[in-house]
Amino acid sequence: MKAVAPGRVNLIGDHTDYTGGLVLPMAIDRHTVIEFEPVDGPTELTSDDASDPHWLRYPDAVASEMNDAGVAVRNVRGHVTTTIPVGAGLSSSAALEIASALALGFNGTPAELAQLTRRAEHRATGVPTGIMDQLCIASACEGHATLIDCRSLGVTHVPVPSDVKFVVRFVAHRTLQGSEYADRVAQCTEIERRIGPLRDATLHDVESLGDDTLLRRARHVVTENSRVLEFAAALGAGDFAAAGSLMTDGHRSLSDDYATSNAVMDAAVKELVATPGVLGARMTGGGFGGCVVAMCEPDAVVDGWVVRPVGAAGTTD
């Protein structure tokens, strides 16, 4: 048997999920696969990938969360392989968590699967991440990006036109530390204590914060939520120039207001945007390195992986 989970690239909507905001990721044709068989003895998982020597903490955390939730855990012997680069911001950990849950016998809804594996991520890393990665991977639809309302966990599948292509380029290994991520979460918590839910806030509300750092963080979240809806509408209308500009604007906001980019990532985006046939580009993932994603005309010549939208994680016999 096989449990197969794709990676994801986030087209727009970064650092909005943990405030109940809007995101628009796309599951991609890079996968983590666990080939397994049920056994009577204890679970044993192996992998040939040595890029993360502590990778077992993810399936172990999934099993613990299943036990805590009263979900029967199937004992398996399995081998893990992946084509998702580790530490590149393409959700290698979420894919491993979801593939692990499926191999261990989880049989709930996509939302339940996403919630359980998000808790496993928190348990494994101590980083208070949002639900975007897990819910995208659990609920994706072939040929579509996944518009997620992270407050309601509602999902809308947005067709990805064949008139454009998305290219992912690895730039640098991420240097994002859990403390830096937690710092952004804490800042958003303080903002919401002062002005209420960021999902419902306006730029006028943001101006009342006074503190320059909090104002910038809030401004990113408020404008990024708007960009997600505008991007989805532009994509549906075939206005690819507008969609590309929104991606680039989102990167600028991540760099200037949310301070999760760096000079190397900014330079990569600048280079891509200046390339003929590139409509827009941005950093993707948590930040401080990783990958950039570019929206391109079909005949644009751009170094990187051309990725296509694939369906959700699942199991096969």
The residues assigned a catalytic role are 133
243's tokens: 């969609």
Query: What is the Cα–Cα distance from 294 to 243, expressed in whole angstroms?
Result: 11
- d(C-alpha 32, C-alpha 51), whole Å: 14
DSSP β-bridge partners for residue 224: none
By C-alpha distance, which of 38, 24, 27 is closest to 4?
A: 27
Q: Is 68 left (phi over 0), alpha (psi -120 to 50) or beta?
A: alpha
Q: Which of 35, 30, 65, 64 is nearest to 140 (CA)?
A: 30
46-63 as b/e: b if 16+ CB within 10 A: ebeeeeeeebbebbbbbb
Cα-Cα-Cα-Cα torsion 21, 24, 30, 33, nearest 10 degrees, comes to: 40
